[in-house]
Structure formats: structure tokens, C-alpha cells
Amino acid sequence: MILITGGAGFIGGNFVLDWVGLNNEPVVNLDKLTYAGNLQTLQSLQGHPLHHFVQGDIADRSLVSALLAEHRPRAIVHFAAESHVDRSIHGPGEFIQTNIIGTYNLLECARAYWSSLPSSEQAAFRFLHVSTDEVYGSLAPGDPAFSESNAYEPNSPYSASKAASDHLVRAWHHTYGLPVLTTNCSNNYGPFHFPEKLIPLMIVNALAGKPLPVYGDGQQVRDWLYVKDHCSAIRRVLEAGRLGETYNVGGWNEQTNLDIVTRICALLDELSPSADGKPYASLITHVADRPGHDRRYAIDARKIQRELGWLPAETFKTGLRKTVAWYLDNTDWVRNVQSGSYRDWVQKNYAERQA
């Protein structure tokens, strides 16, 4: 079996659903269930013999050690993280605690467990750490995309905390021999995405007739990766990645934020026209940019293609259409995640910015 941390979040939840659907191998899913952890995402697995959910914190060493001793996983796939840049600006402490201290505790538990295994099981064990392209900093318009050899230049509390966790994982491999793998992905999108991130926020706000807040001039560029493609890349790295190596995972889809919002509006005009007949693009509102906003990210994903034969299956056009259709078909999920704390967050981060 494998142990997954953060498996009730956006990427982790999609990974769990895909894993159980594709493999006959049990999963122990450890998630703290903070604001972005949502068991409704895993509702289809309720009572499933291959899925065992445990609510808990990766920083709880006694709990993690007990889970490892009881279930004896052949691998740990580490998704658990605080992951929203804006939230890290407003409150960096939680990011330091989860992304750095939590990863450190998880590594120490994994090292103790791995050291206790018979040699054959030690050789087969893997610790896969899921990270982000934001650790590399920001690119100018003409710069080449981030490769695995790029220096780390994080610019937000979130990306700095993820960079620190990457360094810890690397150090535990080189110092203690822990068999680790690291993936650094570009911006994910797709089903079950908590509606504070750009794409789901625009969909949800547009359908509610609310303003579509775009930071600054909206010309910030990101590479977009459909979450199911990301999950397939992680499975492939877990299966055949070289120990101690980092693999960048991208969708080869650079888009400006404003272009994305415009595309979402056009899809909604087609799939769910507004009651008043106005185009959804009329709701676009430019708001003050966030502090230290990185201008461009882009992933060079040739290494994972060359070494492991992985390529994304979705184009941005096909993935975005699937994503918009999913939100239109799953309004109950959206309504249930929009708790009071979520509405307070949107008010704090967007409505209070001067247009």
C-alpha cells in the first residue's frame, strides 16, 4: 500500500481518486482537513476497501509513526501543504509550520521507518515530494522556461516555504540515503479545485453575477497543467523516477491571467448563458495587484518526457472546457465548500482592494 498526505485537497484528492480507480493497491490517506481539505471530494470512495482515511497532521510524529508501523507502506506521496500565495502574504506562519516543520517531521518519521525495513523493502521504498514551479522565482518575457537546474529564487512566503521543504527532502537523501523523488509542477486546474484560485473563482463568481477580479493589468503569465495529467506524471515518477532526482511537470500551456478569464467567460456564454443576456466578460474588474506578484512562470518539462516518456494528454482548450463543464455539473459541491470562512476570505482579499 501507499501513504498519501494531503489526499483530501485539490491535487491530492484527484490523485487518490485516480489511484483507486486504476490500481488494486490500498491507500492510507492522511489529511488535516484545513479549509481546503474536503471529504466530499472523496465521497465516491466512502466504504471503499482500498481507501482508508485518517484525519491528522503531518507534524504529529506519534500519529505518522504509528501509521507507518501499522500499514507498512511501500511509498509515501507527500501532497500536504499550505498552497495559496495570497493567504501566505496575509498569514505566513501556517505556511512555515506545515510546509517546513511538517515536511521535516514527515521526513524524520519516514527515515526511521525506512531504516527499520528489511534490505529488500528498503530498496523498493520511495518518498515522493510534490512541489511547485514557484520556487524558481519569476521569468522575464523572453527568458527560457524553468528547468530542473534553475536556481531557487522564491518571492513569496508560500514559495519560500516550499523551497525550504524541497531543500530538506534533498538533504535527507544526500545525508541519510532516504530514497526520495521530487516533482515541481506548474499551475494546476480541474475538478474539485477550491474556489479561491483563479480558474474556479472566475467560474463561480461569473455564475453568481459577481465581479471577476483580475490583478493589475492581468498580463501575468502562468503555465497551466490539467490536474489529471499531473496525477499521471506523479504515478510515472513514482514508478520509474531516478532516486534523488527532480522532475518538472508542466502542461506546455503558457497563458496570461486575462486571457484565461476571457476564455472562461466565452465558455460560460456558450454553456450557461447569463439570465440577463449580457456577456460574462462584462463582469471583469481590474483590482490592485498583490505584493511581489511574479510576472511569469513557465516549465520546461522535457526531462520527464525524455527519461520517463510522460506527456500531458490535455491541451489547455480541452482541459478548460472539461473544467468549466465540471463546475456547471457539480453546483452542490461548490455550494458546500463556500463556507462562511471562505466568503470572509474572498471579501478580505478581493473586495477590499481598490479597483
134 part of the active site: yes
Q: What DSSP letter does each residue of 241-291 carry, written as one string? A: PPTT-EEEE--S-EEEHHHHHHHHHHHHHHHS--TT---GGGGEEEEPPPT
Closest Cα partner for 186 from 239, 224, 215? 224
223 part of the active site: no
Query: Which cell is 260 given?
Result: 484565461
Which member of 113, 136, 158, 350 is catalytic? 158
Distance CA 227, CA 197 (A): 14
Strand partners, 130: 183
Which member of 57, 82, 86, 133 is catalytic? 133
239 part of the active site: no
Q: Which residues contact 303 (CB under 8 A, 6 or more apart)?
A: 147, 148, 247, 248
Amino acid type, 69: A
Q: What DSSP letter does each residue of 26-91 carry, written as one string? A: -EEEEE---TT--GGGGGGGTT-TTEEEEE--TT-HHHHHHHHHHH--SEEEE------HHHHHH-
Task: State whether residue 230 is helix, strand or coil.
Answer: helix
Which member of 134, 223, 229, 294 is catalytic? 134
Specify the residue for cell string 511509498: 75
Specify the residue for cell string 483563479: 198
Compute CA 353 distance to the chain's CA centroid, rounded to the nearest angstrom.
Answer: 26
Query: Which cell is 2 given?
Result: 501507499
What sign has the CA pseudo-torsion 182, 186, 189, 193?
positive
Distance CA 68, CA 112 (A): 10
Query: Which cell is 292 given?
Result: 511581489
- Known catalytic residues are 133-134, 158
